[in-house]
């Protein structure tokens, strides 16, 4: 089997995102510090990149439920920012 056939969407780099706290705010992206402390940034290029959607979703599930965070493919978010 070729590597192309084995490649799945689960292996795409991903980030953790959440909606803004107010309706007029844009999405925020998780940025982990060197010691693992979470903060939020409005720029997906400054967000912590996870190796897969699975890892991003795992991190999102570890955050408090009231944040309603979720994993998002990095390529999709970067494409949306450009258009």
pLDDT digits (tens, 9 = 90+) for 29-72: 999 999 989 999 999 999 999 999 999 999 999 999 888 899 98
pLDDT of 5: 40
Question: What DSSP letter does each residue of 56-75 carry, written as one string?
Answer: HHHHHHHS-GGG--EEEEHH
pLDDT of 80: 65
CA nearest 83: which of 40, 30, 75?
A: 75
pLDDT of 40: 94
pLDDT of 13: 92
Return the domain boundaries, the chain: 11-82
pTM of the predicted protein model: 0.77
pLDDT of 83: 58
State pLDDT tens for residues 1-23. Answer: 434 444 455 578 999 999 877 77
């Amino acid at each position: 089997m070729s590597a192309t056939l084995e490649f799945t969407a689960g292996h795409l780099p991903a980030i953790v995102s959440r909606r803004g706290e107010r309706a007029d705010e844009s999405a925020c992206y998780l940025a982990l510090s060197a010691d693992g402390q979470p903060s939020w940034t409005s720029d997906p290029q400054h967000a912590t990149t996870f190796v897969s959607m699975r890892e991003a979703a795992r991190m999102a599930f570890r955050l408090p439920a009231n944040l309603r965070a979720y994993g998002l493919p990095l390529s999709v978010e970067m494409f949306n920012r450009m258009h």
